[in-house]
Amino acid sequence: MEGRSIVFASGKGGTGKTTTVANIGVALAQFGKEVILIDADITMANLSLILGMEDIPVTLHDVLAGEAELKDAIYEGPAGVKVIPGGLSLEKVKKARPERLRELIREIGQMGDFILIDAPAGLELTSVTALLIGKELIIVTNPEIAAITDSLKTKLVAEKLGTLPLGAILNRVTSEKTELSKEEIEALLEVPVMGIVPEDPEVKRASAYGVPLVIKNPTSPAAIAYKQIAAKLAGIRWKPPEPESPVKRIFKALFGGRRR
Ligand SMILES: Nc1ncnc2c1ncn2[C@@H]1O[C@H](COP(=O)(O)OP(=O)(O)OP(=O)(O)O)[C@@H](O)[C@H]1O
């Protein structure tokens, strides 16, 4: 059976799209799903960096340039996710033919339950190509008017291309007064908000270590939000772990978890 192909797109750059794709992908794999992550961000290939996979000989760019086979560009990432990384060298970017992406996705679609595509920001040719290759769209945005306006443009283009908008993920939410509310964003984008990921300093820490947050710090607020979104996508019931009581922690420290 063909897997669900979902494009993660933003509009404005830097909303946290790549971080979101990496963590939701790994969380889906932790829930037992077969996941393939594709870095279609031809010019800013960051997905592999967040996953700690920078040392890779063959990338999507080699395949798009017709210089390598698809199977050679598929790597095993954290929690068993399969990753097709983008190239980091400018030479390879120049040679790549983004229009080949569509054929490739058809092939990749047979390999997993979820194919998550990290699309480039903006509405250049490569971004539009990425929007075309997924059947569904998730918008990753910040709760600010500039980001929402750009997201709306992306959503409209995706709809024209026949890609179904599933909803939006609000990332880096601080609940400051200047931020738009969930309801305002839903009214502007005309899609449901699928999850709210708070601003969380642990995100940057995990990224510096090259370990996805849902593995590095699974109880941090953003990790819990990513897992909740992944559970929703997978149709799984999942409740965040209860925070450990101080008494239990002391017992654990004293008796190694054996409570008498
Ligand atoms: N919830 C969060 N809390 C704190 N920092 C975050 C959060 N999400 C992302 N960031 C940080 O924001 C920065 C941008 O994230 P990321 O690279 O994922 O964005 P992007 O949208 O993929 O960027 P672009 O598409 O422009 O390449 C990174 O430094 C990342 O660590």
Nearest CA to ligand 1 atom 23: 14
> Tell me, what CATH number does 213's domain have?
3.40.50.300
Q: Is residue 45 part of a domain?
A: yes
127-156 pLDDT, tens per residue? 777 777 788 999 999 999 999 999 999 999
Q: Which residues are annotated as a binding site?
A: 12-19
Q: Whose CA is nearest to atom 12 of ligand 1?
A: 16
pLDDT digits (tens, 9 = 90+) for 68-105: 898 999 999 999 999 988 765 556 666 666 667 777 87
40 vs 5: CA distance, rounded Å: 13
pLDDT of residue 218: 95
Residue ranges in the chain whose pLDDT is less than 50: 260
Cβ-in-10-Å burial (0-12, 13-18, 19+) of 5 comes to buried
User: Is 76 within the bounds of a domain?
Assistant: yes
Both ends of the chain: CA-CA distance in Å? 51
Residue 161: predicted pLDDT: 86
CA distance 93 to 191: 33
**235 within domain boundaries:** yes
Ligand 1 pocket, residue 222 CB under 6 Å: yes
Number of domains in the chain: 1
In this predicted structure, what is the pLDDT of residue 247? 78
Q: Which pLDDT score, from 0 to 100, does residue 108 have?
A: 84
Q: What is the complex's ipTM, to 2 decimals? A: 0.97
Tell how far the Cα of 252 is from the centroid of ligand 1, in angstroms. Answer: 36
Q: Is residue 173 part of a domain?
A: yes
The pLDDT, as a whole number, for residue 60 is 82
User: What are the CA-CA distances from residue 107 to residues 9, 28, 71, 166, 228 (Å)?
Assistant: 22, 21, 10, 23, 29
Binding-site residue numbers for ATP are 12-19
Q: State which residues form the domain around 173.
A: 4-255
In a domain, 260, yes or no: no
